[in-house]
Amino acid sequence: MSLFQEIELPTGHKYQQPLGLFINNEWVATNTTLETINPATEQVITKVYAAGEKEVDAAVAAARGVYHSWLQVPGEERALKMLKLADILEQNAELVAAVEALDSGKPLHSNARADIDGVVEYLRYCAGWADKIHGKTIPLSNNRLAITRRYPLVVGQIVPWNYPLSMSGWKFCPALACGCPLVIKSSELTPLSLLLFAQYVKEAGFPAGVFNVVSGLGSVAGQRLAEHPDLDKVAFTGSTATGAKVMQSAAANLKNVSLECGGKSPLVVFDDADLEQAAKWASFGVMYNSGQNCTANSRVLVQDTVYERFLELFKKQILEDWKVGDPFDENATLGPVISKTQYDKIQRYIESGKREGARLVLGNEPTGQSTGYFIPPTVFADCNQNMTIVKEEIFGPVVAVAKFSSEEEAVKNANDTIYGLAAMVFSKDFHRAHRVAEQLEAGSVYINSSNDESCRVPFGGFKMSGIGRELGESGIDLYTQSKSIYLNIGNKL
């Protein structure tokens, strides 16, 4: 098998897809391959080479080997390389977005392109930090002071399939700004765009060893990264169950760990809210990316006095906004879910909702697709806190709606979950909205909106939703460690 394959996209464009591992700025073949499947057609797109422990060790050795020389490169120079990389990605955004649409099933025009534009934006934002990562001077007395310095880490990064390049960017952008050599493992389900992006890293002039990409199984390559003794840190985005395993593996070497895991985000609608806007945001917040979003507002809590009215508006909005279709169809806004395994899992949740007594408001509509893992927008009403679809993360276009009577009940039910990634509050009463937002146990709370985050604002979870904060200045802090140096400039012992 070659290290590259010509692939023709549904747009008619042909390109050369890298298939190997990207280690030390070279493409590497292995004895094992992974198939990647188009979820809209269920057909094999290609095979990529998969890393075993030996290849992960080689990638880590490359990153560790360049650490000291890369440490000497001024922040200004790192920034220029990042800005060049952003320009290259922007020039190739249509291609990369089409590759992601093919590999992940996300609609090209309404979803995939925005993801790539977000990576360009975040590269430029983090480039601005590259020459501003410094410590402090701390006076101790007239003749004594201390200074702190911040040092980059050698980093392993494990990323999910729902946002292949976007979630990778949340990790590699701040790491590159801080001067961290890194090894990043793509999801075995969506490896193509990150491999394509690795070419641009080399083109932008980053030295060999700074940016390494391995495709591979989580149980093999991911496990080896998590436990690797030569890495200073591991950053992970994915399920809570897998995050717990990563943390356990990293503990063997007391490795620095950051985790962004699952969610079951509540969206609370009070009776004084703008119900039409609440319905629009709630629709967007749970159906975007086919519901495969850790901050999806998959629980909607509505005050009883406006409950049925909201349901009418919510159903109408979903039917207007979400058109199931092929990812390359310009009119499609809802693509397939990622795999047969995920499709079957979501169907089991839908059946559990019916079996446990929830009222099906939407979900029996035909998708119009003869192949692919398509699930129509599914809305359950009259849910209660004990239902499986209320307690567990579904990760699909399925939402559970319940009613509440008082503000206290709304807060109590919203917080009744092991997760705490995001929450949403809709009310025209600013004092109430802010009061409730303060009480919600979530890392991000949106007042009168949903899922409109910015790369300038910290992002992360409470409870079982993770550890650490990505994005903003907090994302920069994740990728350095501090050293304190004491200076005695006159005092004798």
State which amino acid sits at residue 203.
E
Confirm if 436 and 410 have CB atoms less than 8 A apart: yes
Confirm if 333 and 110 have CB atoms less than 8 A apart: yes
Ramachandran category for residue 25: left, alpha or beta (phi over 0 → left; psi -120 to 50 → alpha): left
State which amino acid sits at residue 117.
D
Domain 4-261+466-482 has CATH 3.40.605.10: yes
Confirm if 159 and 186 have CB atoms less than 8 A apart: yes
pLDDT given at position 119: 98
Q: How far apart are CA 12 and CA 8, in angstroms?
A: 6
Confirm if 411 and 433 have CB atoms less than 8 A apart: no
Q: How far apart are CA 447 and CA 267, in angstroms?
A: 10
Name the CATH architecture for the domain at 266-454. Answer: 3-Layer(aba) Sandwich (3.40)
Averaged pLDDT in 10-residue chunks for the chain of 493 residues: 96 97 98 98 98 98 98 97 98 98 97 98 98 95 93 98 98 98 98 98 98 98 98 98 97 96 98 98 98 98 98 98 97 98 98 98 93 98 98 98 98 98 98 98 98 96 98 97 93 73
Q: How far apart are CA 159 and CA 350, in angstroms?
A: 27
Note the pTM of the prediction, 2 decimals: 0.96
Confirm if 187 and 160 have CB atoms less than 8 A apart: yes
The sign one gets for the Cα dihedral 316, 263, 413, 360 is positive
Q: How far apart are CA 186 and CA 180, in angstroms?
A: 18
Helix (H, G, I), strand (E, B) or coil at 463: strand
42 flagged as catalytic: no
What phi and psi values does residue 491 have, to the nearest 5 degrees? -70, 135
pLDDT given at position 493: 74
* Tokens 């398509």, residue located: 374
Q: Which one is catalytic: 260, 393, 441, 470?
A: 260
Helix, strand, coil % over all residues of the chain, rounded to 5: 40, 25, 35
**CATH 3.40.605.10 placement within the chain:** 4-261+466-482
Number of CB atoms found within 10 A of residue 119's CB: 27
pLDDT given at position 142: 86
**CATH 3.40.309.10 placement within the chain:** 266-454
